[in-house]
Amino acid sequence: MTEDKDNVINLKEELFKYLAHWRWFVLSVFVSLILAFLYIKFTPKSYSIATKILIKDEKSNDLANQLSAFSEMSMLGNSKNNIENEVEILKSRTLIYNTLDSLNLNIQYLDTSEVIEKDLYKKSPVQVIWNNEQLAKTVTIELHNITANAFDVSVNDTKIGNTTFGKRITSEFGSFIVNKTAAINKISELKINIFPKLQHAESYRNILSVSPASKTSSVIDVSIIDKTPEKAADFLNTLVYNYNLGGIKDKRFISESTSDFISDRLTLIATELGDVESQVEGYKNANSLSDIETEVKLYLDNLSTFEKSVLENETKINIVNSLITHISKAKPDDLVPGGLLTEDAGSESYIQEINQLILEKQKMSVSATPENTNYIRLEDQIRSLKSNLLASLRRNLSSLQIVKTDYKRQENEMQSKLSQVPRQEREFRIIDRQQKVKEALYLFLLQKREETNITLAATDLNAKVIDKAIATDKPVAPKTMIILLAALVLGAIIPFIVIYITNLLDTKIKNRFDITDNSNIPFLGDIPTSESTGELMEIGSRSSAAEAIRIVRTNLDFILSDKSDEECKVIFLTSTISGEGKTFVSANLAATFSLSGKKVLLIGFDLRNPKLYEYVKVNPLGVSNYVTNSSKPLNDYIIPVEGYTNFDVLSSGSIPPNPTEILMSKKIKEVFDTLKTQYDYIIVDTAPVSLVTDTLLISKYADATIYVVRANKIDKEMLRIPNELYKDKKLNKLSLVLNDSDVTKGYGYGYGYGYGAKVEKKPFWKELLGLK
């Protein structure tokens, strides 16, 4: 049956195990909440500051649409910004470094006058001018005892001494000057942190969050968590500003390079055009010519279409030759002018790709060395693309030359038709054609320069700020409710774990359930800890122990219900080991029966370790003396207990050398037979059963046996002994009593003892913690 009980979990019992310690739960939760409040109060607040920007798609730019009339203007941008690339640019170390440097955030001013440090961003009454830019670690300058003109200073915990504002201070980390910029007021202690710029930029890069708002949009969320919201807002706004500024510079760089190339070509073509025009003027003056075209108008009408084709061909050849010459003589990082080959889409595509790679290489050169793998890869790509571009241009030039040859053949044919035209006209036509070629090229370049200037003036920002970063007063950390909830849970879990582990490791018998769950022996009751262990209960006793003894007496009557009231009832008390309180229970149980009007005899049959003398006054001579000496009657060894009527005591007598032989003596039966005729109850205090066999030798004389178990004295495993005795029926009507139990932890049973009794007032802290 006990094995079945072991497999059943009594939830109510388990719950009461922890509810009995409710005071510790309350105290633990209270302390946890106090610590949580202190943590919340003294932990610096952190604030989340965010900005939202829209990355513009240049293909859908309104300005580009307005300038769509310039069909050949490829410089206005044909590439769409890649959101992932822009995210990496916003998180780049260089951009963050420049932002921190522009705001001078590598120097932090803290007011340490109070318990919590306060960041004096934009409110510092002093300014530090630091001269060492090559810091390897953070330098902390502390100002103490600040007055209107002087202060004590220390650098990285090294005291420098007393000095004044505006005076240069020298330390092993560098020299600096502390200038006063405002009234000191109530600030008496200042801490100034000077961070290495590169390390500081890296720390900001780690806390900066940049991510697309969604997979389909071009909106980017940029946020940062900082203890100073104003500083964080300024950082984010400046970061976006510098990002846009860098984008504008990149766009203008290409346009400016193209503009410079066109300007150089315009200067050269203007000179050549001037020479040709001077030659035309000189030829007309030398030959007295005024309007030759009118004279040969009929011929020229037929040649108009041919002339236009020749001019266009010459222009294209010149442009291709100029580009080939420029690319061959240009430096590796020089940009290639774009937008000049309107009819050669393949070459224009090469030019755009080369320029993009050159810009990317220039950006990479800031943070990468020429040995960098990506850097080398870009150089190889640029060289390959330039080679492909030159090959494309040469193929284009070859095609133009073929067309030119064809035009030359056609010109010879036309020359034969014009053989009758005066020599002057033919010579003038050659000069005039040169003039028109130069003039057409000049006008083309002039148009491209104006388009490039429009592009420079119309350069738009890469990103549009949707939500500007604004300082907020709502902190994101520490999270008050989460911390308080965690403290509440932790405060409840800690005592739970302690109690659980204590119960898990503690195998001692503590309460009635430890007995009833592990044994089928009838349980008479539990006796709480007595405040006066050396005194017997009296008629007016109302202590919890006295009431418990009365309950045991009542329950014992049910055990002995088969005995008539006229018969004497012999009750043995034993235990597993010495010190479990069987003598205490014996004496008080006897007193209880006596107070109920019964004639009671208390006998000490623990011949080896008698303890009755601790509770009642006894005759030094007793059972052992009577058995070994028959000259004296038994009643001469019995004495009454002082203060009681009908309550006598017979001690165990002198400690014999052979207690086993005495207990096996026939005179023991005579003792019980004689005494049964004189008393209503005989309470026998016997020896512990696990140590000696004394109790088992005389157990046949008992009408009932009470097995006393002391709380917190023996392990639950020791219940095996009474269980075996009960199973083998070696002790008559065996029942169990739990002694010295704590009824305040009785899992709902701690209210039945001491009804109407005065309770001793305990100190508040003992009442709170449930201590004795």
Sign of CA dihedral 403, 406, 411, 414: negative
Name the token pair of 659.
């207690």
698 within domain boundaries: yes
476, 505, 534 - which closes a domain: 505
121 within domain boundaries: yes
478 within domain boundaries: no
| Cα-Cα end-to-end distance for the chain | 37
473 within domain boundaries: no
| Claim to verify: residue 453 and residue 524 sit in the same structural domain | no
Distance, in Å, from the CA atom of 108 to the CA atom of 174, rounded to the nearest integer, reads 17
Query: Do β-strands 463-467 and 208-212 pair in parallel, antiparallel, or remain unpaired?
Result: unpaired
Residue 511 CB partners (closer than 8 Å, separation 6+): 526, 711, 738, 741, 742, 745, 746, 747
| Claim to verify: residue 752 and residue 647 sit in the same structural domain | yes
Contact 703, 489 (CB under 8 A): no
| 3-class DSSP state of 323 | helix
CA atoms within 13 A on the CB side of 113: 12
Provide the pLDDT for residue 545.
82
Burial class (CB in 10 A: 0-12, 13-18, 19+), 447: middle
477 within domain boundaries: no
Residue-wise pLDDT for 647-706, tens only, equals 999 999 999 988 999 999 989 999 999 999 999 999 999 999 988 888 899 999 999 999
Burial class (CB in 10 A: 0-12, 13-18, 19+), 441: buried
| Claim to verify: residue 19 and residue 76 sit in the same structural domain | no
Distance, in Å, from the CA atom of 538 to the CA atom of 525, rounded to the nearest integer, reads 20
Per the structure, the count of domains in the chain is 4
| Claim to verify: residue 232 and residue 293 sit in the same structural domain | no
623 within domain boundaries: yes
Residues of the chain below pLDDT 50: 1, 3, 60-81, 746-760
Provide the pLDDT for residue 180.
92
Contact 678, 632 (CB under 8 A): no
| Claim to verify: residue 176 and residue 292 sit in the same structural domain | no
Query: Do β-strands 681-685 and 639-640 pair in parallel, antiparallel, or remain unpaired?
Result: unpaired
111 within domain boundaries: yes
481 within domain boundaries: no
Range of 262's domain? 250-464
Sign of CA dihedral 381, 383, 389, 394: negative
| Claim to verify: residue 256 and residue 238 sit in the same structural domain | no
246, 271, 300 - which closes a domain: 246
Name the token pair of 69.
């009339």
| Claim to verify: residue 28 and residue 143 sit in the same structural domain | no
Statement: the pTM of the whole predicted model exceeds 0.75:
no
Kindly state the DSSP code that residue 508 receives in the 8-state scheme: B
Provide the pLDDT for residue 111.
93
Residue 63 CB partners (closer than 8 Å, separation 6+): 458, 460
| Claim to verify: residue 573 and residue 634 sit in the same structural domain | yes
Provide the pLDDT for residue 52.
95
- What is the phi/psi pair of residue 471, to 5°? -65, 135
202, 219, 246 - which closes a domain: 246
Cα distances (Å, whole numbers) of residue 404 to 313, 323, 400, 635, 770 = 7, 19, 6, 157, 114
**Which stretches does DSSP call E strand in 633-715?**
639-640, 647-650, 681-685, 704-710
Contact 200, 16 (CB under 8 A): no
Neighbours of 519 (CB within 10 A): 21
Burial class (CB in 10 A: 0-12, 13-18, 19+), 365: middle
| Claim to verify: residue 434 and residue 540 sit in the same structural domain | no
Contact 116, 42 (CB under 8 A): yes
Neighbours of 635 (CB within 10 A): 13
Supply the CATH number for residue 759's domain: 3.40.50.300
Provide the pLDDT for residue 418.
59
| Claim to verify: residue 700 and residue 718 sit in the same structural domain | yes
* 239: nearest Cα among 119, 93, 403, 71: 93
Contact 217, 83 (CB under 8 A): no
Q: What is the dihedral of CA 722, 724, 727, 730, to 10 degrees?
A: -70
| 3-class DSSP state of 507 | coil
| Claim to verify: residue 235 and residue 361 sit in the same structural domain | no
| Claim to verify: residue 98 and residue 213 sit in the same structural domain | yes
CA atoms within 13 A on the CB side of 768: 8
